[in-house]
A and B are shown apart, each in its own frame.
Chain A
């Protein structure tokens, strides 16, 4: 009885139910589409068709199969997303530090940070491309821009969430500002910093894919639009959709894993 209760209330079960539900809904809609549309695979193919295409040996662009196309171009996109993510996280952390150390910096910088965040990437990307004149650099820049804001705000919240008594303890032993940051504020902001990373990791990937679509230089986004424009099999598109969704989710879990390795004993107190 107890065991059954445990199984039914477990997180894995919830995930499983969601997954099954999603597949069922997908398949129902796909069957309807199959009956009513002339080119159903452009609207919603069956899942088995997509899986089939992953293992299919048919060449889609003269030299590569659909899954080979996805994997080679994923490398380009993800590497740029990763570099942008690392740069953005570093900037975000340093910015949070500066905003906390110097109140005027927070007062001056914060409204602009929010402003940058409110510009849609679709609008920002062509401008960045025009400035950098290089699709690779724009991918990195856009990924960094999207990353730094969640990291900066969350880390700043982490600095501010330190209990007053912990700060007073430092004060009572006449700790220097450097020691207060090194031994108290930075370690206790780590869980918040990682919350920022978890939010921005999938965003950096999305941004990088989006920037790809701007120019024909390769990358997942580029293949996505080519596939949509009938330049190659539509299943490349569907594979990219699934692939990027999975990578996005994995990036989140990767951050959780890194967090557990970096600070196994830091509880998030919220």
Chain B
């Protein structure tokens, strides 16, 4: 635990010392995504006319029931999905340019680890592709594993770890490449409540030390309210923004905040914003 705190602090310092000027604010204008129907019928409208502004360093959750297009929105920001109409601008660049400049870190719902690589080499993989020199890679891997509390598991293979540990490796891998924007697609949904709560606290600490822009997809209202500065409520058929709820709870937030009236009021506000469910 102490090791993790030290690593988070160091990681924050490393990020702060980076000289590159890039403002990771995101502006989404009139975005629509249509999926063509395979049988030649009407195309499915995954997202309709999304307008959204995300400030640099903001923690934003996209929340909604399945089929509301929250993952599609995340994928469109990540350039994994092309918009049908409308535009996304990330610090003045297109998603494609940001991707090619390797500024995205993605954490998927599944850990997506390479089972033939050890934990250390899994965390190392994106840095190999980015051409980061070996001593720096080694330093960062050690730092990241300390940060997610898996320092002693570096030589293990993924199948030797529990689901929660695997997911932490995935997070370490995404953070190691120092992304400007962290995109997380229901990263904790497969984990038990205890592991989830611990990771919530860790993620909050990492975010507050690094001030990364984080976009976090979840179907859990509680999770969204606990973690975010801003909760974007999406409704299905077609996927659209029903509401944007600002979460002005003080930080750092401890788990006890979930028992306060303010927290529950915000949860109700988010819940009442859904349409047509």
Residues of A with Cβ closer than 8 Å to B? Answer: 163, 165-166, 168-176, 179, 183-184, 187-188, 190, 263, 265-267
Chain A residues whose CB sits within 8 angstroms of the CB of B116 once the complex forms: 187-188, 190, 263, 265-266
Considering the complex, which residues of chain B in the window 89-136 have a beta carbon less than 8 Å from any beta carbon of chain A?
99-102, 104, 106, 108, 110, 112, 114-116, 125-126, 128-130
Q: Which of B78, B114, B115 contacts A172 (CB 8 A)?
A: B78
- A169-B106, A190-B116, A265-B159 known; 10 new pairs, CB 8 Å cut-off, are A168-B108, A169-B108, A172-B78, A172-B104, A174-B99, A174-B102, A174-B129, A175-B129, A179-B128, A183-B125
- B80 part of interface (Cβ distance < 8 Å): yes
A170→B128 CA distance, assembly (Å): 11
Considering the complex, which residues of chain B in the window 242-277 have a beta carbon less than 8 Å from any beta carbon of chain A?
none
- B8 part of interface (Cβ distance < 8 Å): no
The answer to whether A173 and B114 touch across the interface, beta carbons within 8 angstroms, is no
Most central of A168, A169, A187, A266 by chain B CB within 10 Å: A169
Q: How many Å from the CB of B172 to the closest CB on chain A? A: 14
Mostly helix, strand, loop or mixed at chain B's interface? loop
Mostly helix, strand, loop or mixed at chain A's interface? helix
Q: Which of A166, A183, A267 contacts B112 (CB 8 A)?
A: A166
The answer to whether B157 and A172 touch across the interface, beta carbons within 8 angstroms, is no
Residue of B nearest to A266 (CB): B116
Chain A residues whose CB sits within 8 angstroms of the CB of B171 once the complex forms: none
A189→B233 CA distance, assembly (Å): 41
Chain B residues whose CB sits within 8 angstroms of the CB of A168 once the complex forms: 80, 106, 108
A55→B112 CA distance, assembly (Å): 58
- B46 part of interface (Cβ distance < 8 Å): no
The answer to whether B108 and A265 touch across the interface, beta carbons within 8 angstroms, is no
The answer to whether A183 and B159 touch across the interface, beta carbons within 8 angstroms, is no
The answer to whether A266 and B110 touch across the interface, beta carbons within 8 angstroms, is no
Residue of A nearest to B106 (CB): A172
The answer to whether B108 and A187 touch across the interface, beta carbons within 8 angstroms, is no
The answer to whether B102 and A187 touch across the interface, beta carbons within 8 angstroms, is no
Chain B residues whose CB sits within 8 angstroms of the CB of A265 once the complex forms: 115-116, 157, 159
The answer to whether B99 and A166 touch across the interface, beta carbons within 8 angstroms, is no
Q: Which of A173, A263, A267 contacts B177 (CB 8 A)?
A: A173
Q: Beyond A165-B110, A188-B114, A265-B157, is A171–B128 a contact (Cβ under 8 Å)?
A: no
Chain A residues whose CB sits within 8 angstroms of the CB of B101 once the complex forms: 174
A188→B158 CA distance, assembly (Å): 14
The answer to whether A165 and B108 touch across the interface, beta carbons within 8 angstroms, is yes
Pairs across A and B, CB under 8 Å, 15 listed? A168-B80, A168-B106, A168-B108, A169-B106, A169-B126, A171-B80, A172-B79, A172-B80, A174-B99, A174-B101, A176-B129, A183-B125, A184-B114, A187-B116, A265-B116
